[in-house]
């Protein structure tokens, strides 16, 4: 029997949404949601509520990404399913997850019309 393990992070997006939809990283361990904003995405304008939220900027290759915690339960849920951490440490973990995804994508997604996955 296979054990079901709760992942620390999940990529979340609306598959039926527009092509330029937002990308989120959800953490079931911390019940928190992070929006990933690529530097070249000029369509995302944070509303006044999100401007004051915890955020950090990271770089992968020649592109910058801003991560913003839009649903923040990090300090409230730490210790229940994962260790207690700060919001900054949480963003670092979310970034590491996103960076690993970008590396995987670079190695597995073909720039031509057909993918190596098909």
pLDDT in tens, 8-41: 999 998 888 777 778 999 999 999 999 999 887 6
Determine the 3-state secondary structure of 95 from DSSP.
helix
Residue 89's closest CA among 27, 24, 13? 27
Please report the pLDDT score of residue 112 as a whole number: 62
Question: 50: which 2 tokens?
Answer: 């999100």
Q: Indicate the number of domains in the chain.
A: 1
The whole domain housing 26 covers 21-103
- For residue 76, is it within any domain? yes
- For residue 113, is it within any domain? no
- For residue 7, is it within any domain? no
Mean pLDDT of 65-85: 88
Strands 55-60, 63-71: pairing is antiparallel
- For residue 87, is it within any domain? yes
- For residue 108, is it within any domain? no
Question: 3: which 2 tokens?
Answer: 């054990």
pLDDT at residue 114 is higher than 90: no
pLDDT range class, residue 110, cuts 50, 70, 90: low
- For residue 1, is it within any domain? no
Backbone angles phi, psi at 9, to 5 degrees: -140, 155
- Rounded CA separation 2/91 (Å): 30
Please report the pLDDT score of residue 22 as a whole number: 83
pLDDT range class, residue 46, cuts 50, 70, 90: low
Supply the mean pLDDT for the chain.
85
- For residue 26, is it within any domain? yes
- For residue 32, is it within any domain? yes
């Amino acid at each position: 029997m296979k054990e079901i393990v709760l992942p620390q992070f999940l990529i979340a997006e609306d598959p039926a949404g527009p092509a330029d939809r937002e990308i989120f990283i959800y953490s079931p361990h911390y019940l928190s949601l992070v929006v990933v904003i690529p530097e070249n995405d000029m369509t995302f304008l944070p509303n006044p509520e999100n401007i004051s939220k915890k955020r950090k900027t990271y770089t992968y290759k020649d592109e910058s990404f801003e991560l913003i915690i839009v649903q923040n339960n990090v300090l409230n849920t730490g210790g229940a399913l994962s260790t207690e951490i700060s919001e900054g440490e949480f963003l670092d973990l979310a970034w590491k997850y996103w960076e690993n995804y970008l590396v995987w994508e670079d190695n597995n997604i073909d720039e031509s019309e057909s993918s190596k996955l098909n």
